[in-house]
Structure 1
Amino acid sequence: MKKHIITLALAIAGLAVMAQEKMYIHKADHFTLGALVTSTDSIYFSNDQSTILFSIGDTLDSYAVSEIDSITFGANSTIISIFYEGNYVRVINPLAYEGVSVSTDGANVTVTSTSQIQDIGYRLSGSTHGGSFKIYSQQPFELMLNGVQITNTNGPAINIQSGNTVTVDIMNGTTNALTDGGSYSNPAKAPDGKSEDQKGAFFSETTLIFTGTGNLTINGLGSAKHGLCSDSNIEINGCSINIASAAKDGIHAKTGFEMINGSLNITATGDAIDGDAGNVTITGGNITTLNDADDVKGITCDGTMSISGGVLMLTVNGDQSKAMKSESDITISGGSITIITTGDAVLEASGSGFDPSYCTAIKCDANINISGGSIDIISTGIAGKGISSDADITIANGTITITCSGNGARYTNTEGAYDAYVSTCITSDGNTLINGGNITTSSSGSGGKSISVDGTLNIENSNSPPVINLTTTGNRIYISGSGENAEYAEAKTVKSDGDIVIESGNITLNSADDGLKSETSITISTSIINITNSVEGIEAPFININSGEITIKSSDDCINTTFGLGGEQNDGSIMTFNGGFVAVNTTGGDGLDANGNIVINGGTIVVHGPPNAPEVGMDYNGSCNMNGGFLAVSGPNSNMLQAPSNSSTQNCLKAVTYSGLSASTLFHIQDASGVNILTFQPLRTYYSVIFSSSELLTGSTYSIYTGGSCNGTINNGLYTGGTYSGGTFRKSFTINNRITSVNF
């Protein structure tokens, strides 16, 4: 009778709380279980009143009366709250009778959810130094870290064994920490008999999406384990995550990684961020990484890597490590990227010698495309690389600054021959296209280069020409041979095995060796090129200058066409001028040196020849046909002096003085009416001037003056406009032949 009275009383009480959706059973073991009021059939005691029974839906649960603290009624909720309190936990589970089961072993929590309810949340709070959180669920859910610190000395702090997307909310204003153990216990068995994965301090089988504005620190201590790991995707869209350590990767996402917002700070023994077989996409947020170990990566993936925003600060200190590495294309269209590398290249045994493996800031096995953003790279290790592609590089926009200071060295290559491995700021095994942007590089190590291309190099874009400033200052590296046959690795600013085509750009080169070097051809149009220092300014078998403004200072030949065969024979190389303004200044070589032929069809060419013989202002082994344009060449006292060939179609003058004229002494030619034909101011003492212009007319008489002054506009020693006065008359001459020689 008493049992029925209690049941009736409870039923009456239930009527008073029907406005409340849920009944909460508060148990003495720190569990609170929720049940829908509408699903609760009855509550009654056993005959001896020691047990209370709950008939809820199809479930009949019984508890000792001593296990129940109280029963309350309240609003419905889909959030399971778990409070870690040292060695035990308190659990509020509103869905206990709707498919969500929570069990504990000390502070180790296991959730099994078969519920079909959408948007279930699990909120973790408190602290434990010997606990964990593990969940099995096939529905999407939200994991809320609400000021929780979990240390699991035997495995992952959090282990998500689920098959659907999990949103991890690092709750506003909270600080959270997850730490795993140095060694893991044997994993549990999945229903198929296979061992469950437990690959890191925070591990998930499914996609993780991080949100919120709180802070999360992950201490990855597990041997050969990651800090944060998913066997699917990882997306960061808020919060601040600090991965203070990881024995392997800081973040490992098996099918891809995406950064949208928030901040990451990662220190890892392995890779900092590994997108594994998937893609890496970064559109915003802040990423800071530090890798000290050898042969690791800052950010890497097998798929494509795309960066369109965000701030990245990547540091790699290990030998042959890479700050950014992809096996597919890398695309950079925005953001700010700063990379510091200090690691050295490593010689790996291969074939009959070795194959260098480099420490590289940005390394791609496929194509690199840069169309925006800011990239700042500092490389200090031996033979360090800035941007390197096994295929093509395209730079359309953005600001790129690269400094490489590591020395190169000689080694034995895979064919058993001596070779050199050197630092290079930008290098591609395929082609390189630069059609925009602002590029500044500096390579100071021995043999170091600014741009090196195995294929063709194209620089173009008439609407927004690229601005390029390249510097090399390193010494050359001896490789093999002796005398004229000695081979060196030299610190060139631009080197290409294929064609170099420059159709637009503002380019400044300061080179410890060649400024522009191609094994095939160089073509220049509509560009401003200033080679402020070089050994040889421009060198290739075929050089074509169509337009633009080019100034060169060199210690050897300023412009040299050659197949590299040596000797005085015509090797078939050709130097062609069709237009533009070219001014060259050599302190120890030839101004124009063609081992083959020179063809001048147009343009203005000013040559400040060397101070001493046997070098001259212009030297060719074949012919020099002056068919148009304007040519002024000063030179030393040399019996190697050459004027253009008699096969030219435009008249030329070869003027030689018996005594040298001091530097800056004007050389002036005017016609019989006193009209200025040439006013030229060589940079150093000169004994000869080679001159050709369409204004040298057959049958006309001209006068030579030296000294004096001119108030016209001077450009690299050549005056235009103004009035010449005060000079000393030296000699008159009449043009009767294609080449007129005058001594004075």
Structure 2
Amino acid sequence: MRQPPFSIARHALTATMAACLALAGCGGSGNDDSSAGDTGTGTGTTVTAPSITTQPASLTLASGATGTLSVVASGSSLGYQWYLNGSAISGATASSLTVSSAGSYHVVVSNTGGSVTSSAATVTVSGASAGSDSESWTLSTGANSNDLAADSTTFQTVNIALGSLAVTSGSSALSVNAAGTSASVTDASGGVVATIAQDAYGITITSTATSALPLAFALSGSYAGSVTIYSDQAFRLDLNGASITSADGPAVNIQSKKRAFVVLTGSSTLADAATYSTRTLADGSEMDLKAAFFSEGALIFSGSGSLSVTSSAKHALASDAHVRLRAGALTLASNAKDGIRANDAFVMDGGTLKITTATGAGKGIKVEGKEDEDTPLGFIAINGGTIDITSYDKGITASWEAEDDADTATTADDPDPRVTINGGTITVTTTGTAVEDVLSPEGIESKSTLTINGGTLTINTDDDALNAETAIVINGGRIYAKATSNDAIDSNGTMTITGGVVVAIGAGAPEGGLDTDQNTFTVTGGTFVGIGGSNSTPTPSTTTQNTVALGSVSAGTLVIGDGSGKAAFAYTVPAAASAMLLSSPNIATGTSYTVYQGSTVSGQDETYNGLYLGSGMSYSGGTAGSSFTVSSTVTALGGSGNTGGPGGGPGGR
């Protein structure tokens, strides 16, 4: 669809220009200009406008340090006014200025004969900043100060109304100029810092601004085309009720390796095209196009609005760096591939995320990982917020494996594809059916260690609900994990449960609720139950909280009672199973218990997916079964259902 030509709303006069007009004359170039502007003084004396002999020089400061900008000018009775990013600095009226903040500084030197504006001096502050390329990660939480740097950064905003293609700016540091069907944005010294132009695919935004003058591009209205962004520095992308539907390729295509801070306001929508034509970069190489919303750099989402992305041909959202959701609502629908694909990391601190991948399509969230001699990444950290994923393939996976990407002989540059869940509410449902070496629709997978410290998880899958290559560690949270064809919770290495509440329902033999492939299985806390065809047996030498392994159990309420009416454990079994493994801090060493089925339970604090919780529970009635006295941290009551053996089954890795 042909778009109308650009409508350019010119920026009002900057503070500097206004100051010039208030005087008798103003330097046209904004630099060393000594145009006369002769002024009578009442005595017949002519005063010459000042000229700058030494321009202020750019500085790089360490974080917290100060520096000095200075200007040398010729002329009599000189006055000075310094500006930061186009705004006058109160009290900055000397020939020198002490600075500690990053930005673009200039000074206007004036007298009664006129004024002259200096060239811009850039002050850069090293350390964490919106434009910093230095990365420092805490993998267990995804902490990275650079991802938060936008909170303390003043961006200069360029507004782009997509419906009319009008470009404006309310920033006193910027001016907008028309040039046919394109627009250019200039800074206070007249240098071009950004251009907005139409091409065969849609709108292309090119930013050459420095880190001292960070730009924000605010998109609003509807557009039938693709928005492509190039930027030399980190920038902010404001989606203010924008609706972008591409006719070819991505809806938003960020060809910059710098951070994009995406701020959501109102309701925005993006949709890619069914076809992606080949595009080339300036150097002739083929442009990478991976998703309806794609970025070569990191994507950091925040704001109070929402964004819905629909992909017909590729991923819904992809970054060749990392994706972070701090706030806002993302709804992603992929009809061909993954909901989110990232190379380095996925981190979620808050907000809501809903992902749907179609039948035959891909994964909910996949972090690939890559070898890197400086900062090898490939992890997932979820700290809060709400996630709801319905995916055909895996729901959430940190998927890097050495055999898939062994470009170097050393392992020092290998990523750690760990998954850590510290909080939040996570619901995952996979719809595919596991086929060995073809499809493994697991719920949450780590090719390293899966650690759950908190949060509420509801995972329903055909393949493993939770799976890890090296270890599974459960320190807290609420976990409901159900797999119809494989293990509910499957570690190919060790498993440790120190706290939390877990209900794990696996398939029939040889699959089951809790599987560690004959590796160390440690229980020191928490309340859990695992049912299915089998369970691994906890390791007595490392287990300090009492566990009980049962053989076949029937559907209905099962109680571990002490004979006096006090229940140490109670669970409503949803369907008959050939093995049950359970543990609770209520089960005391030296106490004799009986297994009852069909009892009525009371006095519980709450019930979580059939598991009764509380320390003062009572039971009545029921049919008595096996009796036992706890003399070891691992008590087995017969039956072949509880083993330390491997789970096997399709997709178990």
TM-score, length-scaled by structure 2? 0.56
Q: Call closer, same or farther: CA 1:281–1:362 in 2, change over 3 Å.
A: farther
Report if the CA contact (8 A) 2:245-2:251 is conserved. Answer: no
Name the CA distance, whole Å, in 2 between partners of 1:491 and 1:631: 24
Q: Which residue of 2 aligns with 1:719?
A: 612
Look up the SS of the partner of 2:573 in the other structure.
Answer: coil
Q: 2:595 aligns with which of 696, 704, 709?
A: 704
Report if the CA contact (8 A) 2:366-2:399 is conserved. Answer: yes
AA at the equivalent of 2:328: G
Worse overlay, 675-684 or 616-625 = 616-625
Higher strand share: 1
Partner deviation per Cα, 1:218-269 (whole Å, 9 max, x = no partner): 9xxxxxxxx99xxxx99569xxx9x9xx9xx76576934589xxxxxx9853
AA at the equivalent of 1:625: T
Report if the CA contact (8 A) 1:624-1:645 is conserved. Answer: yes
Name the CA distance, whole Å, in 2 between partners of 1:285 and 1:596: 49
The reply on whether 1:441 has 2:359 as its aligned counterpart is no
Q: CA RMSD in A?
A: 4.4
Report if the CA contact (8 A) 2:206-2:231 is conserved. Answer: yes
| 1:347-358 alignment runs, 5 A limit | 357-358=288-289
Q: 2:246 aligns with which of 304, 316, 319?
A: 316
Q: Which residue of 1 aligns with 2:492?
A: 595
AA at the equivalent of 1:441: I
Q: 1:644 aligns with which of 538, 556, 561?
A: 538
Q: Which residue of 1 aligns with 2:510?
A: 614
The reply on whether 1:374 has 2:305 as its aligned counterpart is yes
The reply on whether 1:451 has 2:342 as its aligned counterpart is no
Name the CA distance, whole Å, in 1 between partners of 2:460 and 2:342: 28
Q: Which residue of 1 aligns with 2:454?
A: 547
Name the CA distance, whole Å, in 1 between partners of 2:215 and 2:540: 65
The reply on whether 1:469 has 2:388 as its aligned counterpart is yes
Look up the SS of the partner of 1:650 in the other structure.
Answer: coil
Partner deviation per Cα, 1:174-201 (whole Å, 9 max, x = no partner): xxxxxxxxxxxxxxxxxxxxxxxxxxxx
Deviation at 1:618, TM superposition (A): 2.7
Report if the CA contact (8 A) 2:426-2:455 is conserved. Answer: no
Name the CA distance, whole Å, in 2 between partners of 1:346 and 1:705: 67
Deviation at 1:275, TM superposition (A): 3.0
Partner deviation per Cα, 1:90-114 (whole Å, 9 max, x = no partner): xxxxxxxxxxxxxxxxxxxxxxxxx
Name the CA distance, whole Å, in 2 between partners of 1:338 and 1:216: 18
Look up the SS of the partner of 1:681 in the other structure.
Answer: strand
> How many residues end up aligned between the 2 structures?
433
The reply on whether 1:623 has 2:520 as its aligned counterpart is yes
Name the CA distance, whole Å, in 2 between partners of 1:593 and 1:553: 14
| 1:155-174 alignment runs, 5 A limit | none
Name the CA distance, whole Å, in 1 between partners of 2:201 and 2:636: 74
| 1:146-225 alignment runs, 5 A limit | none
Q: Call closer, same or farther: CA 1:590–1:338 in 2, change over 3 Å.
A: closer
| 1:302-313 alignment runs, 5 A limit | 304-308=234-238, 310-313=240-243
TM-score, length-scaled by structure 1? 0.50
Partner deviation per Cα, 1:127-184 (whole Å, 9 max, x = no partner): xxxxxxxxxxxxxxxxxxxxxxxxxxxxxxxxxxxxxxxxxxxxxxxxxxxxxxxxxx
Report if the CA contact (8 A) 2:198-2:204 is conserved. Answer: no
Q: Call closer, same or farther: CA 1:318–1:688 in 2, change over 3 Å.
A: closer
Deviation at 1:733, TM superposition (A): 1.9
Q: Which residue of 1 aligns with 2:82?
A: none
Name the CA distance, whole Å, in 1 between partners of 2:164 and 2:592: 89
Q: Which residue of 2 aligns with 1:731?
A: 626
Name the CA distance, whole Å, in 2 between partners of 1:440 and 1:629: 30
AA at the equivalent of 1:404: S
Q: Call closer, same or farther: CA 1:580–1:381 in 2, change over 3 Å.
A: closer
Name the CA distance, whole Å, in 1 between partners of 2:164 and 2:391: 45
Structure 1 residue ranges without an equivalent (≥5): 1-114, 118-208, 219-226, 260-265, 408-422, 474-489, 516-532, 563-572
Q: Which residue of 2 aligns with 1:428?
A: 342
Identity %: 21
Look up the SS of the partner of 1:275 in the other structure.
Answer: strand
Deviation at 1:671, TM superposition (A): 0.9
* Greater C-alpha Rg: 1
Report if the CA contact (8 A) 1:309-1:373 is conserved. Answer: no
| 1:66-465 alignment runs, 5 A limit | 255-257=192-194, 269-275=200-206, 277-278=208-209, 281=215, 286-291=220-225, 297-298=227-228, 300-301=230-231, 304-308=234-238, 310-319=240-249, 322-323=252-253, 325-326=255-256, 328-336=258-266, 337-345=268-276, 357-358=288-289, 360-372=291-303, 374-383=305-314, 385-405=315-335, 407=336, 423-444=337-358, 446-453=360-367, 454=369, 455-459=377-381, 465=384
Name the CA distance, whole Å, in 1 between partners of 2:270 and 2:536: 52
Structure 2 residue ranges without an equivalent (≥5): 1-34, 38-156, 187-191, 370-376, 401-416, 435-439, 640-653
Q: Call closer, same or farther: CA 1:319–1:256 in 2, change over 3 Å.
A: same
Q: Which residue of 1 aligns with 2:635?
A: 740
Q: Call closer, same or farther: CA 1:547–1:469 in 2, change over 3 Å.
A: closer
Deviation at 1:676, TM superposition (A): 0.8
Name the CA distance, whole Å, in 2 between partners of 1:216 and 1:322: 18
Q: Which residue of 2 aligns with 1:692?
A: 583
Q: Call closer, same or farther: CA 1:725–1:457 in 2, change over 3 Å.
A: same
Q: 1:507 aligns with which of 426, 430, 454?
A: 426
Look up the SS of the partner of 1:680 in the other structure.
Answer: strand
Name the CA distance, whole Å, in 2 between partners of 1:738 and 1:274: 65
Q: Call closer, same or farther: CA 1:502–1:702 in 2, change over 3 Å.
A: closer
Worse overlay, 618-627 or 274-283 = 274-283
Name the CA distance, whole Å, in 2 between partners of 1:297 and 1:284: 12
Q: Call closer, same or farther: CA 1:267–1:599 in 2, change over 3 Å.
A: closer
AA at the equivalent of 1:501: T
Name the CA distance, whole Å, in 2 between partners of 1:741 and 1:347: 63
Partner deviation per Cα, 1:572-623 (whole Å, 9 max, x = no partner): x33333333333223221233233322333333333332x222233333223
